Amino acid sequence: MKIAIFVQKKIKPNTKQKMKDFLKYMLAAIVGVCIVGVVFTIIGIMSIAGMVASSSGSETKVSDNSVFILNLSGSVEERAQPNPLSQLMGDNFETYGLNDILSSIKKAKENEKIKGICLNAGVFACSPASLEEIRNALKDFKESGKFLVAYGGNYLQSTYYLASVADKVAINPQGSLGWHGIATQIYFLKDLYDKIGVEMQVFRVGTYKSAVEPYIATQMSDANREQTQAFANSIWNQMVADVSASRNIPADSLNALADRNMDLQSTETYIATGLADTLIYQDGMLAYLKQLTETDEDDALNKLYLEDMVNVQRNVPKDKSGNVLAVYYAAGTIGTGGFSTDEGINPEKVTKDLRRLREDESIKAVVFRVNSPGGSAFGSEEIWREITLLKEKKPVIVSMGDYAASGGYYISCAADWIVAQPTTLTGSIGIYGAIPNADKLLNDKLGIHFDGVKTNKLADFGVINRPFNEEEKALMQGMINRGYELFTQRCADGRKMSVDEIKQIAEGRVWTGEMAKDLKLVDELGGIDRAIEVAAERAEIEDYTVMSYPKQEDFFTSLMSSGKERYLSARLKTELGALYEPFRYLQSIKESDRIQARLPFMLTIK
């Protein structure tokens, strides 16, 4: 029997002290980590609280002799939804809502403490109709007698178009000014598809329906070149006419200057030609603004930015009639059924919202603000149906934004009245379908082979590992033809024209708002304010409150629901630039409806 004997050694005093020191330092480290965690938590809570406060609509107090600095930088959307995740990450993507810009300019006109507006030109990505809407608001502002000046180091053509309406256009002595005309480019993917072994099987109705050309051609068709040149000329001529009227420079001279590409000319040339008024550095511009606002040289200039102006209260009397005029925003690509991207139009949600507007007796009229290049033909039909039901109970006026084309026109055509900007892109009344055949890619290049069984002859219709047979092609084309006939009938009924008249101007052709008015696809040229006036006239109301729908998400709802998706989308916009829209389109193909009614491009003036 073995007996285990344990001998306890004495611990030396210095060893005991080392252990005590170790425990003391470990405890101190734990306490320190806890304190740092608490501090960061408090800072985080304070930051979120600050963001909530800034986005909750707390009123901005306006000081005497203030100037509204309107930074023309970033990108413009119909209504910008604040992105909490971007704010928490410290990113600044500068995406502005057109509605915020327009309302802020109105507030600056009405508020006696605001002495004027300074346009600060930067990198500004904005589509033609939105540019025109902002410019018209600035023209209206000038009627108040307040000053409107512009300053920039580098004016893009878009920012110069806006700045040209100012009383004085100032530019940095080492700056540049964009004035070069409009050019368009389309990406063609046919050769890429051929190399990887993918054939896009296309079915369409409309000679000008060019959305499918990037998949099946290497250059623009004659019809697409014709329509693109026509609407580019229309937009450019409108810009030239506007700048000519504001700067008192003949249109021929402006075109001659564009042919020289003024972006690359000296700043002295801008003064000599009348495009700008003065060369001045930023400190000199600050001194000039102090002079205009009667601010002492040693005092700080009272500045208000767009984020401040959003929370400035308008000087309008409160309406007590109980009448509501609803402005409903429908922006982005039209999805199918219950599907849409975070940035697009969800037909299921839109129809529910419109149904609520129809049933709400306090709402006397609806302005349907459409800014869409189209999308799903089925989704467009769903929204069209709800617009027709809404129109039976109250006036419906469409206000077209940058685009109301293809499916965007489909959902607009049933309205009582259509208002568009001269540079709005609309029409594109046509249908197409595109289904890939990846037989060569899968079988020949990747060595992936398929086999299977089926109960009926066409049970495997639409698989991507083989091309359509003749019967399937005929069925698909028949489906596209029926969709086109329905589309043209909807347009004919809405515009009170015959189907033959519609077909003469359809064929998928894109028109500007100015062209569309002559063709009776549009009733009147103007912006959203004019559409609101028409809605009030049709509803026979003088006193009313304008309310916007759908309601935008608050800070926490936005953070919890789709903050991640919006953040990633914003980062992609920043990184991809002009390539973002083509990327989004390719990304959405997998969820797209078989039959599409949409534009093949997005146009931005830079």
Q: Which of 119, 147, 149 is nearest to 134 (CA)?
A: 119
Q: For tokens 């969800």, name the residue.
A: 346
- State how beta strands 396-405 and 363-372 pair: parallel
Q: Output the CA angle 220-224-228, nearest 5 degrees.
A: 105
Q: Which of 434, 386, 367, 384 is nearest to 202 (CA)?
A: 434
Contacts of 306 (CB under 8 A, 6+ apart): 70, 71, 96, 100, 101, 104
- From the candidates 376, 406, 558, 592, which is the catalytic residue? 406
HEC per residue, 133-144: HHHHHHHHHHCC
Both tokens of residue 316? Answer: 């309008």
Q: How far apart (Å, rounded) are the C-alpha atoms in residues 82 and 56? A: 11
Task: Name the 3-class secondary structure at 291.
Answer: helix
Q: For tokens 């704010």, name the residue.
A: 87
With beta carbons less than 8 A apart as the criterion, state whether 389 and 358 touch. Answer: yes
Q: For tokens 């940095």, name the residue.
A: 172
- From the candidates 209, 290, 503, 517, which is the catalytic residue? 209
With beta carbons less than 8 A apart as the criterion, state whether 432 and 210 touch. Answer: no
Q: Which of 416, 410, 380 is nearest to 398 (CA)?
A: 416
Q: Tell me, what DSSP letter sits at residue 345?
A: B
HEC per residue, 502-517: HHHHCCCCEEEHHHHH
Told to judge if 406 belongs to the known catalytic residues of this protein, a careful annotator would answer yes
Q: How far apart (Å, rounded) are the C-alpha atoms in residues 396 and 417? A: 7
For 53-84, b/e burial (b = at least 16 CB within 10 A) is ebbeeeeeebeebbbbbbbbbbbbbbbbbbbb
Q: From the CB of residue 176, how many other CB atoms can be counted at a distance below 10 Å?
A: 18
Both tokens of residue 211? Answer: 């959305």
Bridge partners for 473 per DSSP:
none
Q: How far apart (Å, rounded) are the C-alpha atoms in residues 503 and 561? A: 44
Contacts of 148 (CB under 8 A, 6+ apart): 116, 117, 119, 138, 141, 142, 165, 166, 167
Q: How far apart (Å, rounded) are the C-alpha atoms in residues 182 and 158? A: 11
Question: What single letter denotes the amino acid at residue 249?
Answer: I
Both tokens of residue 517? Answer: 């008015």
The stretches of 424-527 forming alpha helices (DSSP H) are 439, 470-495, 499-505, 513-518
Q: How far apart (Å, rounded) are the C-alpha atoms in residues 120 and 286? A: 12
Question: What single letter denotes the amino acid at residue 103?
Answer: S
Q: Which of 198, 119, 145 is nearest to 466 (CA)?
A: 198
Catalytic residues: 209, 406
